[in-house]
Structure 1
């Protein structure tokens, strides 16, 4: 595999030595690496920055791995999560996978196995067109979720305390970044990422019959 320099991996662990060890191992892949000890800070950065993979310790001081995965899937559902777990804590790691994690790997880490898993995930998980290089701002993420919820630009403007024109500009920027041209494509994009659930017998466009045209 030839690793593109634009690939970005986040590593989250409450122990600095563990962060350094994983980062050193991944350095051979030629990816950009950002390390975090604070789950909250990591989630903030996921909202606004490109990330191709998050590697996270299952047991964190302020948030357990399952809660972390749930939060990641809320703010950046396209980002795969690889959980690091201590030997003997496999049942909890399995729960994390059921919550949305891509995979888990047991400690003590074997460098070759970690590299193999990371390469595999980076190869098979692609972010939506446009989003990798043009992450949405916090405001755009908020508007996206409100649009998916069926809110009109006027309703969103009242909720966020912004003018209707400002909301429409944010919506236009958001759709340009995501590479979609109409509301239906935006809904389908959101459904594919798990931002909205659609019953099996319902078309994606039916989730927002009351939404105004984009």
Structure 2
């Protein structure tokens, strides 16, 4: 079980901040909806460890994780900016999510190629991020996140800029992750994404 309890945060100079309080079971998805500036991305940053809360706790399976460094949390994140390494090709970008030293097993190398095939990028493994469209970059970021096999997946507008076929493929992959017991926190303005993926809804 994933538990956020009275998690409070306020940016410097702000009069008002945010407080978050919810629970999420493995294999479930909560969809967060709200206007720009309502705190969706802030929440994901707090869970991922990119921001530190002013107070409150974050627990995964009964263990507090709010003081852990981002790389030590049972979390992987896909943000709108894609977060790819521009000097590394697509396959290497994905491989870094599996092992920081790129010491990949044959099975992991096969998983990378299968992930690219499923997202229509089978021939893109040796291309550089700068040669990709925004939608293609987002597909790479999603494949990397899914293949990390963390129990909690944070998604900030993950399917923005994708065509209908790519969206269908990635939604299928995310549903498979749910069936494996991965918990999803989805921030999306896309009503179809929320309807297809979410078990719970939270309006900020």
TM-score, L = length of structure 2 = 0.30
| Structure with more contact order per residue of length (Cα contacts < 8 Å, sep ≥ 6) | 2
More strand by share: 2
More helix by share: 1
TM-score, L = length of structure 1 = 0.29
